[in-house]
């Protein structure tokens, strides 16, 4: 029955029972044509919904006859028209309710990036219908992103940070920060000192390396913990983005200190066995200081060549005059202290000591030629071979010991010397000049006899108790005051003075002082005896005078 056939009363009743526009109904699809979907929504007539509202976001038709759908009444049809319904508006209401709940609960939504716009991106966060939201570029990631085009077409998870009737603002960064914090706490709780962890190098600085351990947790490896060996910069060992394994060595207030070198054996643990004293080893000079040279024997193990161990004889002001950084050298191990991580090395002891070589070639008593380098109060310094200098002590210049070395020798003079001793330990060579000739004292001991030999010498000194006499070859004679006259006159200064010639008989030798002990009294007694003896023997020849006999006899006996 159509409206024209209805009574006035029926028409009034129908108008009173009509639902309001915007009301939502549950209905059933009864038919579908090319433009509309016909829905029975519980009234006397069916309603129509545009077929376009049943297409999904991917373009697929999502409706079949018999499906139950929710629709909203948009308007009642005028004369002969069916009521207009909308499924899309119901979907929008549901989507908005869902989005409000997500926002209130702080949950995330899936967002499909539609396009890039000024300052950020436009995304669709609807499930059944398109709901557009804005993502500022600063909220895309934890770090600034330069190229936004790479996000277009991708689906990302994000959080709603602003929701109003006309705009929705999303933040992926907020979600990432939350996830990172969760992961950060998880990573931190798993760390402990001594544990080996894996991470990626994110930054290199002069002082060391920052490593991402996950969850936004970063550890730091000081440059000293990168290698057991010496490195100038972390980039010499690792590179940004490289995955590495490191050991946690310190945890303090979320500050994590790592070590790369401690994931490998400490080379010093075997140093004492590998580098025994006397071992010859090659290495690379890695540092030159004013006190010596550091040589790398292997990564992490360095030894020191003290400046005193660089060269036997060559003089230098700084070790850099001998070696330079980067040079490979051969050294000898002197001492190893693994606990203190120290190895003493020697560069010069690769070769035999020049003092040892000199001693082998020139045993004591050898005469060598040298050049005077310097004359001092200590004696005469003589260079016996290149950079090898010996000393002639003042007492070894002359047997008499009364030579002024500064007057006798000048720098540059070439002289012969005798090797007396070579002290290889203290690197000293003792030389002599007087030893080039026979010792006059030894000669005197051979030729002169106590109680027999009579000598004449010149008085050099007169004292209260003795007279000093210079004999031949500079030998010194001593006459005690009691031995000067037979009368025992002790005031000898009245009898003799320096410069006088004195004849006396040898009565002894003082080997320690190298002095001849003389007696003038013994000599006079001997003269007296000889005079008497000559007188008695001449009684048979009266024509010979006694004085002539004694005089001739004395001339033949007295030496000097």
Q: Which residue has the tokens 């309001």?
A: 20
DSSP class of 180:
H
CB 446 within 8 Å of CB 476: no
Whose CA is closest to 460, among 450, 442, 474, 473? 474
- CA–CA separation, 462 and 490 (whole Å): 12
In DSSP terms, 518 is beta-bridged to 479, 506
Q: Encode pLDDT of 373-397 as tens digits.
A: 999 989 999 999 888 899 999 988 8
- The rounded mean pLDDT for the chain is 86
| CATH code of the domain occupying 449-537 | 2.40.50.140
In DSSP notation, 423-447 reads: ETTTTEEEEESGGGS--HHHHHHHH
What is the mean pLDDT of the segment spanning 193-219? 91
The pLDDT value given to residue 116:
92
pLDDT beyond 50 at 10? no
- Residue 310 to residue 347: CA distance in whole angstroms: 5
Size of the chain in residues: 560
| Tokens matching residue 490 | 């002790």
What integer is the mean pLDDT of 157-181? Answer: 89
Rounded alpha-carbon distances, angstroms, from residue 296 to 51, 332, 343: 83, 13, 10
Distance from CA of residue 153 to its chain's centroid?
Answer: 55
From the list 320, 431, 420, the residue with the least C-alpha distance to 370 is 431
What's the confidence (pLDDT) of residue 549?
46
Inter-residue contact 178 to 142 (CB < 8 Å):
no
d(CA 61, CA 348): 94
The CATH label, of 2.30.110.10, 3.40.50.150, 3.10.450.100, 2.40.50.140, for the domain at 191-263 is: 2.40.50.140
Rounded-to-integer distance, Cα 148 and Cα 137, Å: 8
pLDDT, tens digit, 9 for 90 and up, residues 440-478 = 888 888 999 998 899 999 999 998 889 999 998 889 999
What contacts 210, CB < 8 A, 6 or more positions away?
201, 202, 203, 204, 218, 219, 220
Q: Which CATH architecture has domain 267-350?
A: Beta Barrel (2.40)
User: For residue 324, what are the contacts with CB-CB under 8 A and spacing of at least 6?
Assistant: 285, 288
For residue 320, the tally of other CB atoms under 10 A from its CB is: 14
β-pair partners for 282 = 330
Structure tokens, 41:
């929504």
Nearest-angstrom CA–CA distance, 285 and 324: 7
Q: Which CATH fold topology does 354-436 show?
A: OB fold (Dihydrolipoamide Acetyltransferase, E2P) (2.40.50)
Place of tokens 């006079």: 524
Q: Which CATH superfamily is domain 8-92 in?
A: Nucleic acid-binding proteins (2.40.50.140)
Per cent of the chain over pLDDT 90 is: 41
Residue 439: its pLDDT value, please? 85
Helices (H) and strands (E) in the chain, counts: 9, 30
DSSP assignment, residue 125? -
- Across 272-397, the runs of DSSP E, i.e. the strands, are 280-289, 292-298, 301-306, 328-337, 342-346, 367-376, 379-385, 388-392
d(CA 136, CA 110): 16
Tell me: pLDDT of 558 over 70. no
Q: Which two tokens stand for residue 274?
A: 């590998």
**Better pLDDT: 282 or 352:** 282
**Which residues on neighbouring strands pair with residue 374, listed in sequence order?**
381
CATH 3.40.50.80 given to domain 108-177:
no
* 468 strand-pairing partners: 461, 478
In sequence order, which ranges of 222-292 are alpha helices (DSSP H)? 271-274
Give the per-residue pLDDT at 20: 67
Q: Where are the domains of the chain?
A: 8-92, 108-177, 191-263, 267-350, 354-436, 449-537
- The yes-or-no answer to whether 108-177 and 449-537 have a common fold is yes
pLDDT digits (tens, 9 = 90+) for 237-273: 899 999 999 999 999 887 899 999 899 888 888 888 8
What's the token pair of residue 161? 């940070």
Q: Please report the pLDDT score of residue 489 as a whole number.
A: 61
CA separation for the pair 382, 393 (Å, rounded): 11
The pTM score is 0.49
- Could you identify the residue written with the tokens 């070439």? 414
User: How many Cβ atoms from other residues are within 10 Å of residue 57's Cβ?
Assistant: 13
**Residue 506's beta-bridge partner residues?**
518
For 192, the token pair is 């402990």
For 70-115, what is each residue's pLDDT tens digit?
A: 888 988 876 668 888 888 888 888 888 898 998 999 899 999 999 9
């Amino acid at each position: 029955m159509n409206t024209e056939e209805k009574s006035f009363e029926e028409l009034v009743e129908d108008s009173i029972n009509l639902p309001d526009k915007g009301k939502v109904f549950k209905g059933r699809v009864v038919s579908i044509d090319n433009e509309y979907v016909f829905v029975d929504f519980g009234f006397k007539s069916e309603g129509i919904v545009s077929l376009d509202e049943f297409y999904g976001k991917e373009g697929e038709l999502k409706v079949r006859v018999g499906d139950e759908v929710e629709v909203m009444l948009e308007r009642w049809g005028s004369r002969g028209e069916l009521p207009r319904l909308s499924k899309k508006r119901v979907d929008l209401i549901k989507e908005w309710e869902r989005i409000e709940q997500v926002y209130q609960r702080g949950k995330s939504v899936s967002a499909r990036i539609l396009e890039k716009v000024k300052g950020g991106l436009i995304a669709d966060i609807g499930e059944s219908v398109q709901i557009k939201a804005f993502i500022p570029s600063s909220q895309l990631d934890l770090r600034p992103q330069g190229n936004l085009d790479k996000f277009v077409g991708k689906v990302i998870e994000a959080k709603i940070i602003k929701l109003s009737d006309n705009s929705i603002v999303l933040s992926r960064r907020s979600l990432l920060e939350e996830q990172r914090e969760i992961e950060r706490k998880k990573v931190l709780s798993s760390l402990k000192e001594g544990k080996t962890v894996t991470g990626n190098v994110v930054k290199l600085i002069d002082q060391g390396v920052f490593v991402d351990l996950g969850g936004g947790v970063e550890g730091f490896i000081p440059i000293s913990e990168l290698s057991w060996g010496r490195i100038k910069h972390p980039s010499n060992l690792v590179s940004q983005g490289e995955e590495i394994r490191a050991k946690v060595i310190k945890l303090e207030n979320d500050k994590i200190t790592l070590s790369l070198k401690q994931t490998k054996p400490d080379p010093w643990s075997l140093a004492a066995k590998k580098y025994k004293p006397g071992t010859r080893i090659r290495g690379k000079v890695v540092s030159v200081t004013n006190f010596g040279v550091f040589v790398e024997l292997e990564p992490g193990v360095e030894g020191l060549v003290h400046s005193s161990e660089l060269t036997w004889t060559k003089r230098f002001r700084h070790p850099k005059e001998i070696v330079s950084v980067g040079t490979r050298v051969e050294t000898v191990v002197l001492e190893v202290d693994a606990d203190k991580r120290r190895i003493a090395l020697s560069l010069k002891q690769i070769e035999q000591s020049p003092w040892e070589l000199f001693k082998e070639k020139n045993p004591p008593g050898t005469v060598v030629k040298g050049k005077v380098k310097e004359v001092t109060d200590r004696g005469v310094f003589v260079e016996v071979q290149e950079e090898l200098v010996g000393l002639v002590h003042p007492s070894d210049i002359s047997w008499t010991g009364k030579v002024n070395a500064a007057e006798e020798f000048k720098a540059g003079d070439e002289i012969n010397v005798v090797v007396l001793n070579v002290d290889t330990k203290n690197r000293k060579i003792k030389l002599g000049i007087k030893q080039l000739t026979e010792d006059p004292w030894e000669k005197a001991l051979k030729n002169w006899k106590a109680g027999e030999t009579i000598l004449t010498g010149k008085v050099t000194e007169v004292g209260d108790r003795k007279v000093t006499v210079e004999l031949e070859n500079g030998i010194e004679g001593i006459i005690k005051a009691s031995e000067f006259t037979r009368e025992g006159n002790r005031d000898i200064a009245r009898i003799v003075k320096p410069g006088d010639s004195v004849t006396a008989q040898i009565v002894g030798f003082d080997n320690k002082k190298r002095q001849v002990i003389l007696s003038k009294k013994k000599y006079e007694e001997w003269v007296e005896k000889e005079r008497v003896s000559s007188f008695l023997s001449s009684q048979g020849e009266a024509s010979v005078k006694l004085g002539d006999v004694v005089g001739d006899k004395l001339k033949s006996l007295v030496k000097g």
